[in-house]
Amino acid sequence: MTVHPQKTRVLESYLAGSWRPGKGEGKPLLDASTGAPVATIDASGLDLAEALEWGRATGGAALRKMTYHERALMLKTLAQALMDKKEIFYQESFATGATRKDGWIDIEGGIGTMFAYSSKARREMPNTKVFVEGAVEPLSRDNSFSGQHVLTPLRGIAIHINAFNFPCWGMLEKIAPALIAGVPCLVKPASQTAYLTELMVRHILATGILPEGALQLLCGSAGDLVDNVTGQDVVTFTGSAATGQMLRQNKAIVQNSTRFSMEADSLNAAVLGPDVTPEDPEFDLFVKEVAREMTVKAGQKCTAVRRVIVPRKTAEGVAEALKQRLGKAVIGDPRDDAVTMGPLASRGQVDEVHARIGDLRREAEIVLMPSGEVSAEGAFASPVLLHCNDPLKAEAVHAVEAFGPVATLMPYDTVEEAVELTHKGKGSLVASVFTNDPEVAEEAVLGMAPFHGRILIGNRQSAKSSTGHGSPLPMLVHGGPGRAGGGEELGGLRSIKHYMQRTAVQGTPRLLGAVTGRWIAGAPGQEDSRHPFRKSLAELKIGDRLVTKSRTVSLEDIEHFAEFTGDTFYAHMDQAAAERNPFFEGRVAHGYLIVSFAAGLFVDPDEGPVLANYGVDNLRFLTPVNAGDALKVQLTAKEISPRITADYGEVRWDCLVTNQKDEPVAQYDVLTLVAKDWPQQGA
Ligand code: NDP
């Protein structure tokens, strides 16, 4: 399929397997700088219940046939295909008012999030269809009854209702974890900038990389979309608190206990530490960061700094420095390379921001006045800095979000007071603290943390490497309590888990193993004449086991190990001191000696399919080993995870070291890379 975007497009929705226009005339969407029509949008007459059902049945079934790694690789291939087309999206992005830099956050930031999720999932999840979480919980003394948490993909559809400010990132950062989890998506972008999302979805679907039904798009009003949700669906919302609260109380969402995640207004704060003087590098870093947060995306960022909290003695200096920096912003049509700040998304947003500035002015005075409009057609607004002298008594400056290049400066007298001011935002996505003093960092961050989803500490050392106040990262949580919506996105595997159901499964280890595809402590293992290290992935089975002969540890072994490694800790070398230790009865063997002897017992030395040992997990020393004790190892293949893109895979072995009384001495997982075939094909 070739994509031919026209000048003024009629946006269509991709629902139940086809592109469909709305039945109505369509609302015009205008270029934010020129006011020229870009597209029309309408969703009337579209059958949304049918679309949801089609997604659940077609997309869900197709995705669930794949493993986590297969879905993650699919995402990587898709991200590569989108990256190849990025210039097309940049060109379209200008109409939203985004500069090239703003577009980078939206377009390449969004695609980058897909890459990040793809590699994270392949590193941190097994190549299976069920995700086993945490350790087995033994529930009986004789190991005949245990519990294990497993996560499986929900059987519903993920509905993503997005805001106008990030038409690409807003979609991609949400569909990435949902698709890896195995859940199909229906994206409903905000109407104002839906033309860019629609263009990207057209390109996504044209690649044919996603299975049919994995991604649908609704352009236009949501209609009865949310009225048709089930308890297996997930709804995520980004936008205004008013719409979010209304949706949260939707009858179908409430009655079905549908998972609902919301990200709404957030009065994010940047705090300058009391230790910082105008001569310190942190002062400039702070001013730079606040100015950047006010002007990137013309301040239309959920994470933008709205409250600038500074020591009273420094407030004037900060105001002057900010005025100077903000005065350098070149406002205009972002197609012009010299422009550093584009317009707001629409004229409506300009009116909205002016109205909100009016609300703020009830408690704050303007320090930096807005300059004249750049053009009458465009949705231009220049930076506005306000100052509220008594912010502890004020309300509006902590509650009114002017979604544009607007922030309020507020002085404080003690760190405690600064923390209290941040709390007055009633929950925010992010805050930053600029300080070089560990005590200030501790007091401020721990005081602010319960009210924030993310906190950035800025100082001279991290200045070059810092990703900045306003950037949510795929591996870190994005979302905040209270006013910020109470939702949570991103945060590595956490966000994939939002689309899966966690189930505690209880039963006998053998059957738990069958369910999870893992060997579970207490389940039988199988020994045969071949050492398991002689088996390739094609031959190795879960539960394949080796029980070694035993080896007695002598005092000479302990002393030799101590001298050889340099670890002459008293518990190994000084009988009297070891006896005084409450945990030991005389000199004991080093834990690492036990692990080394264990390897000596279980390893098969000849060249074979085991290619490397890349670490151990969960190592615990359980019983002290004294000279004269005899060690034995039971090694069992616990999890086998072949890689899709390599001729080897990971094998996790349960390694149990016991003494002559069969007491467990050490237990851990040995992690190895094993060839799929041996001898290797073509070797
Ligand atoms: P809205 O809450 O109006 O819209 C957000 C999304 O919800 C859009 O996709 C919108 O679609 C959709 N929507 C609106 N009504 C319904 C409904 N009844 N059922 C289902 N979906 C619905 O916010 P705006 O985008 O207009 O932004 C308004 C304000 O929200 C901004 O000025 C800003 O203050 C705040 N905002 C906060 C953000 C944050 O992350 N903190 C991000 C963006 C905005 P449609 O566009 O078709 O109406």
pLDDT tens across 635-678, in order?
999 999 999 889 999 999 999 999 999 999 999 999 999 999 99
Atom of ligand 1 nearest to the CA of 242: 2
Is 263 part of the annotated catalytic residue set?
yes
Q: What are the helix (H) ranges across 46-168?
A: 48-54, 60-64, 68-84, 86-93, 100-103, 109-124
Using most ligand atoms within 8 A of CB, pick from 29, 42, 159, 161 the residue to mutate for ligand 1.
161
Does the C-beta of 352 come closer than 6 Å to ligand 1? yes
- For residue 29, the CA-to-ligand 1 centroid distance in Å is 16
- For residue 240, the CA-to-ligand 1 centroid distance in Å is 5
Atom of ligand 1 nearest to the CA of 352: 32
Name the phi and psi angles at 90, rounded to 5. -60, -45
The residues, ordered by sequence, that sit 6+ positions from 504 with a Cβ below 8 Å of its Cβ are 147, 148, 149
- Would you call 156 exposed, middle or buried from its count of C-beta atoms within 10 A (0-12, 13-18, 19+)? buried
Which position has the token pair 């199909």? 184
Residues of the chain where predicted confidence (pLDDT) is lower than 70: 1-7, 370-375, 680-683
Residue 680, pLDDT score: 65
Other beta carbons within 10 Å of 110 = 24
Three-class DSSP category at 577: helix
Nearest protein Cα to ligand 1, atom 42? 239
Other beta carbons within 10 Å of 336 = 12
Q: In this structure, is the dihedral angle defined by the CA atoms of residues 114, 120, 126 and 130, taken in order, positive or negative?
A: negative
Residue 184, pLDDT score: 98
- For residue 264, the CA-to-ligand 1 centroid distance in Å is 9
> Which residues of the chain form CATH 3.40.605.10?
5-131+157-259
Q: Which amino acid is at 558?
A: I
Residue 126, pLDDT score: 87
Does the C-beta of 264 come closer than 6 Å to ligand 1? yes
Name the phi and psi angles at 471, rounded to 5. -100, 110
Cα separation, 357 vs 257, in Å, equals: 38
DSSP state of 471: -
Residue 2, pLDDT score: 46
Nearest protein Cα to ligand 1, atom 14? 243
Atom of ligand 1 nearest to the CA of 484: 41
Using most ligand atoms within 8 A of CB, pick from 164, 250, 260, 471 the residue to mutate for ligand 1.
164
- Contacts by residues 15-22 (CB-CB < 8 Å, ≥ 24 positions apart): 15/46, 15/47, 15/48, 15/50, 15/51, 15/54, 15/186, 15/216, 15/217, 15/218, 16/47, 16/50, 16/51, 16/54, 16/216, 17/54, 17/58, 17/212, 17/213, 20/46, 22/46, 22/219, 22/220
Length of the chain, in residues: 683
Nearest protein Cα to ligand 1, atom 44? 239
Atom of ligand 1 nearest to the CA of 349: 32
> Which residues of the chain form CATH 3.40.309.10?
268-484
Cα separation, 634 vs 653, in Å, equals: 10
- CATH architecture for residues 268-484: 3-Layer(aba) Sandwich (3.40)
Q: 263, 293, 443, 639: which is the annotated catalytic residue? A: 263
Does the C-beta of 188 come closer than 6 Å to ligand 1? yes
Nearest protein Cα to ligand 1, atom 4? 239
- For residue 99, the CA-to-ligand 1 centroid distance in Å is 22
Atom of ligand 1 nearest to the CA of 161: 9
Atom of ligand 1 nearest to the CA of 221: 47
Helical pair 194-207 and 86-93, crossing angle rounded to 10 deg: 170
Does the C-beta of 489 come closer than 6 Å to ligand 1? no
C-alpha count within 13 angstroms, C-beta hemisphere, residue 394: 26
Cα separation, 644 vs 397, in Å, equals: 53
Nearest protein Cα to ligand 1, atom 37? 239
Q: How far apart are the first and last CA of the chain?
A: 42
- For residue 164, the CA-to-ligand 1 centroid distance in Å is 7
- For residue 161, the CA-to-ligand 1 centroid distance in Å is 8
Other beta carbons within 10 Å of 488 = 17
- For residue 393, the CA-to-ligand 1 centroid distance in Å is 30
Cα separation, 405 vs 165, in Å, equals: 13
Does the C-beta of 161 come closer than 6 Å to ligand 1? yes
Cα separation, 159 vs 181, in Å, equals: 14
Cα separation, 248 vs 259, in Å, equals: 10
Nearest protein Cα to ligand 1, atom 11? 190
Using most ligand atoms within 8 A of CB, pick from 106, 166, 243, 263 the residue to mutate for ligand 1.
243
- For residue 238, the CA-to-ligand 1 centroid distance in Å is 7
Cα separation, 68 vs 421, in Å, equals: 44
Q: 168, 185, 302, 655: which is the annotated catalytic residue? A: 302
Nearest protein Cα to ligand 1, atom 43? 239
Cα separation, 636 vs 544, in Å, equals: 6
- For residue 219, the CA-to-ligand 1 centroid distance in Å is 14
Nearest protein Cα to ligand 1, atom 9? 190
Does the C-beta of 302 come closer than 6 Å to ligand 1? yes
577 dihedral zone (left: phi>0; alpha: psi -120 to 50; beta) = alpha
Atom of ligand 1 nearest to the CA of 265: 41
Token pair recorded at residue 21: 């226009």
Is 168 part of the annotated catalytic residue set?
no
Q: Residues 181-200, buried b or exposed e (16+ Cβ, 10 A)? A: bbbbbbbbbbbbbbbbbbbb
Task: Give the DSSP letter string of 619-632.
Answer: EEE-S--BTT-EEE
Which position has the token pair 């629902």? 15
- Would you call 308 exposed, middle or buried from its count of C-beta atoms within 10 A (0-12, 13-18, 19+)? buried
Three-class DSSP category at 135: strand
Residue 1, pLDDT score: 47
Token pair recorded at residue 511: 């059957």
- For residue 194, the CA-to-ligand 1 centroid distance in Å is 12
DSSP state of 341: B
Nearest protein Cα to ligand 1, atom 5? 239
- Would you call 230 exposed, middle or buried from its count of C-beta atoms within 10 A (0-12, 13-18, 19+)? middle
Nearest protein Cα to ligand 1, atom 17? 222
Nearest protein Cα to ligand 1, atom 38? 239
> Which residues of the chain form CATH 3.10.129.10?
525-675
- For residue 402, the CA-to-ligand 1 centroid distance in Å is 14
Question: Among 620, 621, 631, which residue's Cα sits nearest to residue 662?
Answer: 631
Using most ligand atoms within 8 A of CB, pick from 226, 229, 240 the residue to mutate for ligand 1.
240
Cα separation, 625 vs 317, in Å, equals: 66
Cα separation, 395 vs 179, in Å, equals: 42
Task: Give the DSSP letter string of 404-418.
Answer: SSEEEEEEESSHHHH
Cα separation, 383 vs 377, in Å, equals: 19
- For residue 525, the CA-to-ligand 1 centroid distance in Å is 56
Fold of the CATH domain 525-675? Thiol Ester Dehydrase; Chain A (3.10.129)
Q: What is the pTM of this model?
A: 0.90
Question: Which CATH number is 5-131+157-259 given?
Answer: 3.40.605.10
Does the C-beta of 403 come closer than 6 Å to ligand 1? yes
